[in-house]
Structure 1
Amino acid sequence: MTIRTRFAPSPTGMLHIGGVRTALFSWLYARRAHGVFILRVEDTDRERSTEEATQVILDGMRWLGLDADEGPFYQSRRMDRYREVITQFLQAGHAYRCYCTKEELEAMRAEQLAAKQKPRYDGTCRHRNEPRAGVDPVIRFRNPSEGAVIVEDAIHGRVAFANSELDDLIIARSDGSPTYNFCVVVDDMDMRVTHVIRGDDHLNNTPRQINMLKALGAPPPMYAHVPMILGADGAKLSKRHGAVSVLQYREEGYLPEALLNYLVRLGWSHGDQEIFSMQEMIDLFDIEDVNKSASAFNPDKLLWLNQQHIMRSTPEHLAVHLKPQLAALGVTVSDDAKLAAVAGAQQERAKTLKEMAQNSVFFFREPQGYDEKAAKKNLTPDSGATLEALHAKLSGITEWTAAAAHEAVNEVASQLGVGMGKVAQPLRVAVSGTSVSPPIDVTLEVLGREAVLSRIERALEYVRAL
């Protein structure tokens, strides 16, 4: 059997990290088994579904690298298929038209609550054969009234639901549009889904969906209902806990693999290991090892993991994600080799790519001015002689490398009889505009001869004007 999993978000809101974790678990399970991962956009709610939310789903999955083998499929484009199955259900007696009005249903509910009963549809129209004038009927699935549905959940274990507790679900509204729970069943059958991994808020939908699959003669998939993610305060994760959309993490400078590493560890573990590559996640993850209790989201832990992934990444990989961060600051980079060199120089010093970009602008654009505190301390009338000596020594370098630059700065320090810092700091402020940068020799090599000499000349003009 080929394992086939699916991620089926609804574009009625932004793709958030709870959804991303579900997508990740489904993707990893399929990848480990050399199976098929399907992306399905459940956009039957036309009033609440938006193009923006759909695009965030597609962009987010692309950024995360959670590539689909099939899809994206859109439920809104499968309406003919749903109508076909509804007709099939009606003809086979698995569904019926319900003519109860909204007012009658509300009265039924109020009566049941007053009698301390669970509110549910009482089957009034189960045996009605005649239409009711002036009422557009809904269509309900005729749920079995006896027996039980046993869900063998990969995370929660064996869960039993008595059919007597399940009322007859509406599968088509009065305007003919199919409902979510029905569309899911048809899609999972048609797409031959073998494993449904989703949030545990869907667990109560499962028995009804299994009953509909049985009515269609289709084998139910294996289910795994993933516990929710809580905020640090123990409440359900929401907007007030942080990012609304997964793409906000991209904007904030997180690496996709760091976010996925963090999410895979929410409810799953492999010994004490904290840092995982994507391949390690694929090799080690098993849905049956996921904890059944909820996990708390910790932004500080995510930030730490991001820093670890930045430090362990290749400069070339970092450069791909650094480029849009620099573009957001108005810096267009055409030299990919230089960009990788900058990323390599900065990767030990940044917790996010956004921070890295902010600290790297000077590599691509001459600073408009100097940091006031840094200039006051390092660009003084006394530093003029140091800068002149540096300009002369650096101008004489034949092969511009970090090693040659280091030797030149060292020779100027010896020549002036001062420590290395007394020479390096004025030089650092001159070329970067601040007192903080990667090691000065690396900074000079990446900047290049022309930029370095030009910026020293500018700093000399600044000093002479004091």
Structure 2
Amino acid sequence: MTITVRFAPSPTGYIHIGNTRIALFNWLFALKNNGQFILRFDDTDTVRSKTEYADATIADLDWLGIEPARIEYQSKRIPVYDAAAERLKAAGVLYPCYETSEELERKRKLRLARRLPPIYGRDALKLTAADREKLEAEGRQPHWRFLLPNFKDDPFAIERTEVHWNDLVRDRETVDLASLSDPVLVREDGTYLYTFTSVVDDIDMEISHIIRGNDHITNSGVQIAIIEALGAKVPDLGHINLLTTASGEGISKRTGALSIGSLRRDGYEPMAVASLAVLIGTSENVTAVPDMATLADIFDPAATSKSASKFDPAELDALNRALIHAMPYAQAKDRLAALGIEGERAEEFWLAVRGNLSRISDAAGWWKIIKDGPATDEQLADEDRDFVRTAFDLLPREPWSRETWKLWTDAVKIQSGRKGKPLFMPLRIALTGLSSGPELADLLPLLGREGTLARRP
């Protein structure tokens, strides 16, 4: 059997780090098991679903390194859902209901007042054909509910009916169907709800494993009943913990917070995002993993905590720096060239400055300092000006190497009597215009003797 998983977002906004955690878990599970990953858009909500959001999701997943075996759109599969709905109607487990939302709310309150569970009482099952004709003549259109198998012979004599599965993340899970209302699968306008379309697609696309958020646990109990009513095999299920913001708030598409697009525009590395999204809230240490294959090796859905995890951008910053500091020039080359950093000394420059960067884009500032002169952030103190001028008179002759900095500062130390910060800091400010940065031993050969002398105050 081929392991087949899916990521099924609604294209009603830009995917955020919480959505992406689900996508990454499925992608890594497929990689680990030599399986396939399907991207499936739940776009049957024609009002809120937008092509631009679907296209952005495809681009975001591509940036992360997730490569779907195929892309599906539920809006193009309506005939498949129509056929499945007819099968359930023929089996007598999909029945028409005519209550308005106001009527349903009144019935719910009445059940609560009678100390009964606030679930749908299946009143529509008592309607005769004549009753239905009358309601429809009044202009009412039915919505259709799935009859949960939580009774023996009499659908009004509901009894405890447990659905069990061995969860890939949470071990044994149980949902009692007696505690739930019969779910609406078809709206009054004939459109389908996710609960139904997801099941039909999972069957049709032979999804073997479903990994999604633990907010779907109850929904899974309902969907198992629908899958079995359609005569199909239930996939293996896994429910992972949800992510919150650092302050504990839920992450929503509506706010745009922590969207993958915004993280990409902010200069984060895709593997920094993937590493934190996958490893946070697991028993694994959160480290900067260099590539998806390595992350797949250490990935284990069963190592995931059951409680929610906080996504802290400060941790993302640390992972991003770690990846950049270890990044070989070949990996950064094209992106550096896009910043105008190219030529025979580009690799030497990269190796000199990468340990001081938080984003690859930060390299542009250092390239400008090397090419055009010091920044203007820091100015020499008056008492250091004469010292620096004298120090420049002691510059060694070329050729220069990484050892030149030590040769120069040793000579300056002997001549001036200065050492430590009083010696090094004025030279750094004169050369770069900044009080911190890459090792000057690495920068001097890039500047060359002529370029260094040009910075004499």
TM-score, with length taken from structure 2:
0.82
Residue 2 of structure 1: aligned partner = 2
Cα deviation for residue 30 of structure 1 reads 1.1
Partner deviation per Cα, 1:147-166 (whole Å, 9 max, x = no partner): 43223322223233333333
> Partner of 1:307 in structure 2?
321
* Aligned ranges 1:32-431 → 2 under 5 Å: 32-71=32-71, 73-126=72-125, 128-129=128-129, 130-131=132-133, 132-133=136-137, 134-146=139-151, 147-236=161-250, 243-270=257-284, 274=287, 276-277=289-290, 278-319=292-333, 332-333=339-340, 335=342, 338-350=345-357, 352-353=358-359, 356-357=362-363, 359-363=365-369, 366-367=372-373, 370-374=376-380, 380=385, 383-387=388-392, 390=395, 396-397=398-399, 402-403=401-402, 405-406=404-405, 409=408, 413=412, 428-431=428-431
Change (3 A) 1:440 1:242: farther
Deviation readout 1:317-336 (Å, 9 max, x if unpaired): 3455667xxx7xxxx31517
CA distance in 2, matches of 1:239, 1:358: 33
Q: Check whether the contact 1:151–1:223 (CA below 8 A) recurs between aligned residues.
A: yes
Q: Distance in 2 between matches of 1:240 and 1:337?
A: 47
Q: Secondary structure in 1 aligned to 2:124?
A: coil
Residues 4 and 195 of structure 1 are in contact (CA less than 8 Å); yes or no, is this contact kept in structure 2? yes
After TM superposition, give the deviation of residue 64 of structure 1 in Å. 1.6
Matched, 1:453 2:453: no
Give me the whole-angstrom Cα distance separating, in 2, the residues matched to 1:431 and 1:362.
Answer: 12
Query: Superposition RMSD on alpha carbons, in Å?
Result: 3.5
Moved more, 28-37 or 402-411: 402-411
3-state SS, counterpart of residue 158 of structure 1? strand
Query: Equivalent residue of 2:280, what SS?
Result: coil
Equivalent residues, number: 440
Distance apart, 1:206 and its partner CA: 0.7
Q: Distance in 1 between matches of 2:446 and 2:86?
A: 69
Structure 1: distance between partners of 2:175 and 2:89: 25
Distance 1:182 1:227, change over 3 A: same
Partner of 2:12: 12
Q: Aligned equivalents of 2:57 and 2:206: distance in 1?
A: 23
Task: Give the whole-Å Cα distance in 1 for the aligned partners of 2:315 and 2:425.
Answer: 34
- What is the alpha-carbon distance in structure 2 between the residues aligned to residue 455 and residue 445 of structure 1? 9
Residues 240 and 88 (structure 1), Cα distance of their counterparts in 2 relative to 1, 3 Å cut:
closer
Provide the C-alpha distance between the structure 2 equivalents of 1:264 and 1:198, rounded to a whole number of angstroms.
13
SS of residue paired to 1:197: strand
Alignment partners' CA distance in 2, 1:239 and 1:175: 26
Compute the displacement of 1:227 (Å): 1.5
SS in 1 for 2:5: strand
The change in CA–CA distance for 1:377 and 1:155 in structure 2 (over 3 A counts) is farther
Q: Is 1:442–2:442 an aligned residue pair?
A: yes
- Point out where structure 1 has 5 or more consecutive residues left out of the alignment: none
Conserved in 1, the CA contact under 8 Å of 2:16 and 2:251? no
The 1:383/1:233 distance shift into structure 2, 3 A limit, reads closer
Distance (Å, rounded) in 1 between the aligned partners of 2:198 and 2:413 = 76
Equivalent position amino acid for 1:200 in 2: N
Q: 1:166 to 1:411 in 2, by over 3 A?
A: closer
Aligned to 2:154: none
**Identity across the alignment (%):** 32
Aligned partners of 1:374 and 1:435 also within 8 Å:
no
Offset of residue 410 of structure 1: 5.7
User: How far apart are the structure 2 equivalents of 1:240 and 1:209?
Assistant: 27
Deviation at residue 430 of structure 1 after TM alignment: 4.5
Partner-residue secondary structure (3-state), 1:12:
coil
Structure 1 residue 287 displacement after superposition: 1.9
The 2-side partners of 1:334 and 1:216 are apart by 60
Q: Secondary structure at the match of 1:183?
A: helix
Further displaced range: 182-191 or 357-366: 357-366
Which structure has more relative contact order (CA 8 Å, sep 6+)? It is 2
Deviation (angstroms), 1:208: 1.5
- Give the drift of 1:269: 2.5
Over residues 420-458 of structure 1, what are the superposed CA-to-partner deviations in whole Å (9 max), with x where a residue is unaligned? 8788666644443323332223213345x5xx735743x
**Which amino acid letter does the alignment assign opposite residue 137 of structure 1?**
P
Aligned amino acid, residue 145 of structure 2: R
SS of residue in 2 equivalent to 1:371: coil
The offset of 1:198, in angstroms, is 0.5
Note the C-alpha offset of 1:404. 7.2
SS in 2 for 1:160: strand
Residue by residue over 1:102-142, the C-alpha shift from the partner in whole angstroms, topping out at 9 and shown as x without a partner, is 33223222222322333222222235434321112222223
Q: Which moved more, 1:10-19 or 1:369-378?
A: 369-378
The letter of the residue matching 1:310 is I
Q: 1:415 to 1:153 in 2, by over 3 A?
A: closer
Structure 2 unpaired stretches of 5+? 152-160
